[in-house]
Amino acid sequence: ARPTARELYRLGLNPRVQGGWFAFVQEEGQLLPDEVAALAHAGGFLEDLERTPMSKCFKMVTLQVLIDADALAGGLPLNDLADRAHAMLVRSPELLRDIEGVKALGNAREPDLQSWWQYWRVNPVAAWLGESAEKRKKSWFALEGDRFVPRFQVPESARPALHRMVAELVDWRLAEYRARTRSTSLTDATAFECKVNHNGSGPILMLPDRAMIAGVPLGETPVRLPDGRVWNFRFVKIACNVAGVAGESDNRLPELLRGWFGPQAGMPGTRHRVRIRPTPEGWRIEPVALGDAQVIPFPGRAKLPAFTSLRAAAGWEGKLVNADELAPDDMVALPGAFPPGCFAVRASGTSMAGWRHEILDGDWLVCQPLDNIGFEAVAGQIALIARGLGENRSFHIKRVARDGQGWALRSDNPDVPAIAVTDDDAVVATVPRVVHPDALGPAAGAELEAGRVASAFGLSHEPTGTIDRVDGHLFLLAERLDAYDQLRVAVADRRPGETAFVLVRNRAGGHRYLGVGRWDEATAAWTVPEVDFETWRAFGHGRSASRRLDDKWLAEARQFVERLLAELPEGGWLGRDGKRCRVLGRSAEGGLRIDGGGDRSAPRTVSLIDIGWVLAARAQTVAPDEASVNQLRYLVGTPKASTRWIDTGWALLLAATLGDNRPS
């Protein structure tokens, strides 16, 4: 099924596209035939519905009333329309606020009927009729006597489709309005939210209207990050474009926002937001969960039977499961209360990672068993499916969907093809809950006092030693990291898809939690969330603060050197913006040797790695500079003295002038 506009909105995307949402859906080949007919006759109204201004909720409430009364085609008497609208407002306290305090109405919950009818006539009805001051290309409704009716007409066969399409847009617009009013109603300035935008070179923060929210900071302001670090944020009138460590010139705001929201942070079509709030320690910033979800603490833990050796989920293909693997081999403690008979398995693979439901490699899947249930009983649901018979039986997590006259097992990942159901396939269980390992502990970077690991993770007792399993969860308690994002600890009885909670011992005798580790077969190590410079210096084995350069960019750097030497023979000069160097030739490791000519500067090497990082940065930023390249290259918090800043500058010059200069 295609996503609705509201579903995309709640995923942090923006369904508002040129030409209208449904025109876009039609281009994608996802409109049904009756919806195509409805769009042909009422496309202008549908597109206007997406963009009509909403200082209050009234216009969408009017349409919702018509939808609920199945009166979109025939309309309603004005007084009946107003009465139904008031009933809807009373049922929705967040919308009722739009009429609270209106003097002409008195008690918003029980206004005088005549006053209410007049108020509704003057407000949304007048706007839809084109009588208000709002500039409209066309009025979409009219009055026939005292009846509020549409001007647009669609064939009777297409009316149900139009009803669905209008309902979808109204649902989205009201969700959007509710989110907006939540973020702008903080008149006591206890907190505020900022939209993440993009200024062409990176993501920035757009501040709320200062007339609406008092107390929004102005100028350089210390703000605490979720991991406890304090950065200076530069707040100007309408935006914050710059943030970083106090005393340093690097702008690390783009790095922070991309770390929270991914490489598309702030790009057109996204709806990322951050919340900034005062605390006893000063201002604090944090990302807002997609869909404006309220944070609800997990309930207490319950123990479930776990099939830890049953590799049963999300993309695994072809693994044979023996009969002795069909009995639970452990108990795992997960948050919540579960019906009798539920069990847990690990997800393996990424075929169920899609827009509808994120099931990631290593997630715990809570399964509710079903006996002798056909596929029709779980249509549209995610289920644990047994395929094949006897020793050839395998287990998969798929979404059950009808395929013509039969059934198919689909993946939420659109790149994974569907599987046709056969006579040997059976539904074992549904998956009512998915538990991400990251949600089972504190935030990465948390400092835990000695003896406080169990309480931080909701365990029955403290983990001990370097390797321990407690309540079905693997803990790795290390002395040091092997790389800024890796820990090499061999676990002899490591289970399929198993994740680990990785901690390192701090100087106070407690532990720092580094996050969820996932086993990487290629490096034979546990991959953990990347640490910052200070953490790596405190807990790492190596001294380098550079991230690993992808082999792709090393290959690009070799090709770059070949092209430059072909265009510029040995001893040729390159220059730009007053900066020049002479190319002496290739270095022993494949980079370039350069100098300033004569005794003006000694020869130096610009390595393939220096050039590769510049090329990688140029793929992300139109005009990279030393700061943006080093921001990509080095761990968060790396001081300038620990970088190859000068060689980065020469690599930028080489990259910028290739093809622009000839030997002088």
Q: Given a cut of 90, is residue 311 above it in pLDDT?
A: no
Q: Given a cut of 70, is residue 293 above it in pLDDT?
A: no
pLDDT tens digit sequence for 375-385: 888 888 888 88
Average pLDDT over residues 445-458: 87
> How sure is the predictor about 34, in pLDDT bands with cuts at 50, 70 and 90?
very high
Average pLDDT over residues 422-442: 86
pLDDT tens digit sequence for 260-290: 888 778 887 778 889 888 765 578 899 986 5
pTM for this structure? 0.55
Say if residues 465 and 477 touch (Cβ distance below 8 Å): yes
> How sure is the predictor about 60, in pLDDT bands with cuts at 50, 70 and 90?
very high
Q: What percent of the chain has pLDDT over 90?
A: 35
Average pLDDT over residues 299-318: 61
Interatomic CA distance for residues 251 and 556, integer angstroms: 27
Average pLDDT over residues 405-428: 84
Q: What share of the chain is helix, strand, coil (3-state, %, to 5)?
A: 30, 25, 45
Report strand pairing: 76-77 vs 141-144. Answer: unpaired
What pLDDT shows up at residue 59? 93
Say if residues 503 and 448 touch (Cβ distance below 8 Å): yes
Helix axes 608-620, 626-633, angle to 10 degrees: 100
Name the amino acid, one letter, at 291: G
pLDDT tens digit sequence for 560-592: 999 999 888 778 888 877 788 899 999 999 999
What pLDDT shows up at residue 499? 93
pLDDT tens digit sequence for 337-372: 788 888 898 887 766 665 555 677 888 889 888 877
| DSSP per-residue letters across 33-72 | HHHHHHHHHHHHHHHHHHHS--SSSHHHHHHHHHHHTT-T
Q: What percent of the chain has pLDDT over 70?
A: 87
> How sure is the predictor about 652, in pLDDT bands with cuts at 50, 70 and 90?
very high
Write down the mean pLDDT value for the chain.
83
What pLDDT shows up at residue 662? 36
Q: Which residue has the tokens 């839809």?
A: 128
Q: At 160, which helix (H) or strand (E)?
A: helix 159-184
> How sure is the predictor about 309, in pLDDT bands with cuts at 50, 70 and 90?
low
What pLDDT shows up at residue 80? 95
What pLDDT shows up at residue 610? 95
